[in-house]
Amino acid sequence: MTSITRFATLMFSFAAFFIITSAAHAQQSDLYRIETTDGNTFIGQLIAETDESITILTESAGEITISRNNIRKMTLLENDRMREDGFWHDNPQSTRYLFAPNAIGLRKGEGYYQNTWILFNNVNYGITNNFSIGAGTVPLFLFGSSSTPFWIMPKLSIPVASDLVHLSAGALIGGVIGEDDGSGGLLYGTGTVGDTNKNLTLGLGYAYGGGEISSTPVVNISGMYRTGQSIYFISENYFIPDTDAGGLVSFGVRWAPENFAVDFALIRPLEDFGSFVGLPWLGLTIPFGR
């Protein structure tokens, strides 16, 4: 076992213990989020209801009674998402870090569009609560090229251990439109501990192409930690054991209000590149189907 592999294993073990312990002690809440037909949103505890109206207890305005005819959507907040700094919206891109997937699945009917540096485009959609499908492309045809790369990303996700541990298997199946032989991709499996706000993922991937599958895995260790209503810290890292290829490490920040997310990160190879700080990553995610 190399020193990099030992360090990665130790880091994953400590972080996994911390995430599971903190998540397991998170308090559950019976708060409701109510969207009205006139565009207002209220968050509070349900304290009374009739056939005509409901009454909730909010933190800022006290008791509020709302006619059922004026309710557009009423959602039970199963997790403790009311914090000292306000209400925590869903993570707009909870199933992926910068690009690498974790083992958490998209819910049925929900998806997101991801754009990186204008050219790289991904769309992912939950077919069921356990299976999603994604597709992406770099539209080089817009620049007059006869070759256009594309990829398809199926993923099966299985929650275990009270939703604090997830396992998944998937693939990145790539090709090039306009080329006779340009197919290849990656087969992978991942395990994730934690929830959509803070988690850690260990993944193994095997590249394939030309009818062959690599015998050397790519190890992915990625993590996400939410610090407030809209700020997440993200690290996505790749290691290739027992080779001179080394790997890549990254550190970034996600700014995620309710309806979109922006990721900024620096990516650096493990090899010695002198004063080179890192390659910037800039991505935009827009969720849909919620």
Closest CA to 129 of 89, 173, 98, 163: 163
Query: 């015998």: which residue's tokens?
Result: 215
Query: 């999603």: which residue's tokens?
Result: 132
Note if the pTM is more than 0.85: no
Decide: helix, strand or coil at residue 228. coil
Separation between Cα atoms, residue 170 and residue 188, nearest integer Å: 5
The DSSP-derived string for 38-93 is TS-EEEEEEEEE-SSEEEEEETTTEEEEEEGGGEEEEEE--S--EETTEE-PPPTT
Residues of the chain with CATH 2.40.160.40: 3-26+92-288
Closest CA to 169 of 187, 152, 193: 187
Buried b / exposed e across 66-94, counting CB within 10 Å, b at 16+? beeeeeeebeebebebbeeeeebebbbbb
Residues of the chain with CATH 2.30.30.100: 31-77
Looking at residue 242, its pLDDT comes to 73
Looking at residue 18, its pLDDT comes to 52
The C-alpha angle 23, 27, 28, rounded to 5 degrees, equals: 110
Looking at residue 31, its pLDDT comes to 79
The backbone region for 142, taken as left when phi is positive above 0, alpha when psi lies in -120 to 50, beta otherwise, is: alpha
Q: Residue 43 half-sphere exposure, CB side, CA atoms within 13 Å?
A: 14
- Assigned token pair, 281: 């990553």
Q: In this structure, which CATH number among 2.40.160.40, 3.40.50.1970, 1.10.10.10, 3.30.70.60 belongs to the domain 3-26+92-288? A: 2.40.160.40
Looking at residue 171, its pLDDT comes to 97
Looking at residue 135, its pLDDT comes to 97
Q: What pLDDT tens digit does each residue of the chain (290 aa) get?
A: 454 555 455 555 555 555 555 554 444 446 788 889 988 888 888 888 888 999 988 877 888 999 999 998 888 775 566 676 667 888 999 999 999 999 999 999 999 999 999 899 999 999 999 999 999 999 988 887 888 899 999 999 999 977 789 999 999 999 988 777 668 999 999 999 999 999 999 999 999 988 899 988 999 999 999 999 899 999 999 998 876 767 899 999 999 988 899 999 999 988 766 677 789 999 999 999 87
Q: Which residue type, as a one-letter code, is found at position 22? A: S
Looking at residue 141, its pLDDT comes to 80
The backbone region for 47, taken as left when phi is positive above 0, alpha when psi lies in -120 to 50, beta otherwise, is: alpha
Looking at residue 222, its pLDDT comes to 96
Report whether 80 contacts 26 (CB < 8 A).
yes
Decide: helix, strand or coil at residue 8. helix
Query: 54: which residues sit within 8 A by CB, 6+ positions away?
Result: 34, 46, 48, 65, 66, 68, 71, 74
Separation between Cα atoms, residue 70 and residue 256, nearest integer Å: 29
Separation between Cα atoms, residue 100 and residue 120, nearest integer Å: 14
How many Cβ atoms are within 10 Å of 237's Cβ, its own excluded?
A: 20
Looking at residue 26, its pLDDT comes to 46
Q: Residue 162 half-sphere exposure, CB side, CA atoms within 13 Å?
A: 7
Query: What own/partner pairs with CB < 8 Å and gap ≥ 24 does 47-56 have?
Result: 56/32
Looking at residue 27, its pLDDT comes to 44
Architecture of domain 31-77: Roll (2.30)
